Amino acid sequence: MPVDLQALYPKLIHLMLDTVFVVDPDNTIVFVSAACEALLGYRADELTGTPITRYMHPDDLEATRASIVRVMNGTPHFDFRNRYVRKDGGVVHILWAAFWSDEVGARIGVARNVTALTQAEDELRFLAHHDPLTKLNNRSLFNERLASALHAAERDQQRLALLFLDINDFKGINDGHGHAAGDQVLCMIARRLERCVGATDTVARMGGDEFIVLLTDVASEDAVLAKVEQIARVMAEPLDADFGPIKLPSCSIGVACYPTDGKDADTLLSHADGDMYRRKKHRALARQQAQSAQAPLWSDPCDASPVLTG
């Protein structure tokens, strides 16, 4: 017995997991398959006879209208993405394959929900340039920002500065309270550092318990020292009760200023790193001397405030 394909096609369309739209030249939906309810939350009878532009995300209207013109001019589109607003107010990301049919006198589009895929792609792009724990910029993005900042500083005859920050005795937190607690402290430090910088500055985690701050368009080296002191004060703020018995360690901050301490990225990074380790060494030596003599610890404003030293 021969199969009646003409009778079968409508049933096949409604079985599709992707949604089929047929839209007339005036952007009115004349047909939509049953999958539309899973995609947009509307039944087919709610969508039929309404303008498809009503459901498009406002920020994507311009690009979508350009795609519509392209399709209606005879160029099929198989990889167009945009966002639609669901009946419940949520946003869905859609991948479209669409073409204009002269026989039908309408454009036909197949819509696939790619919200999960888009979110995964966004997450991968974020992780390519950010530290997964603290959400700060990572070394790769920091290096890009530094290169761009150096170019601008040379062009505009401006100053910039690098602050290389290391948490003293951080290993004690991991050993005494566990790595989860250590991670919590690192995230707190990241948020505090972000509070201390401007919109054009950059904070990055270089790895472990090391952070770096790029200060752009610095007025003077005195302004850099003032920023170091501000960071020290913010870092000295008591921890929330959520941290329990954990005490925030002190930090050592190395400083490098452009152009005084170097005019290229490698020289500035090396200078800031070396300055930081010099301060750590001085701190350790002063701690030993203080313990021996039971005298106050040596303090350096670029190492930490007296409150931070511990």
Distances (CA, A) of 179 to 6, 96, 172, 250, 308: 65, 46, 10, 18, 22
Identify the pLDDT of residue 216: 94
**Which domains, from first to last, does the chain contain?**
5-119 (3.30.450.20), 130-293 (3.30.70.270)
Cα-to-chain-centroid distance, residue 121: 12
**pTM of this prediction?**
0.75
Identify the pLDDT of residue 3: 61
Identify the pLDDT of residue 301: 47
Q: Which of 93, 76, 97 is nearest to 85 (CA)?
A: 93
Identify the pLDDT of residue 224: 94
Identify the pLDDT of residue 310: 31
Identify the pLDDT of residue 28: 98
Stretch (H or E) spanning 80? strand 77-85
Residues that are catalytic: 209
In sequence order, the 6+-apart residues with CB closer than 8 A to the CB of 290 are: 296, 297, 298
Identify the pLDDT of residue 308: 33
Residues with pLDDT less than 50, the chain: 297-299, 301-302, 304-310
Identify the pLDDT of residue 304: 46
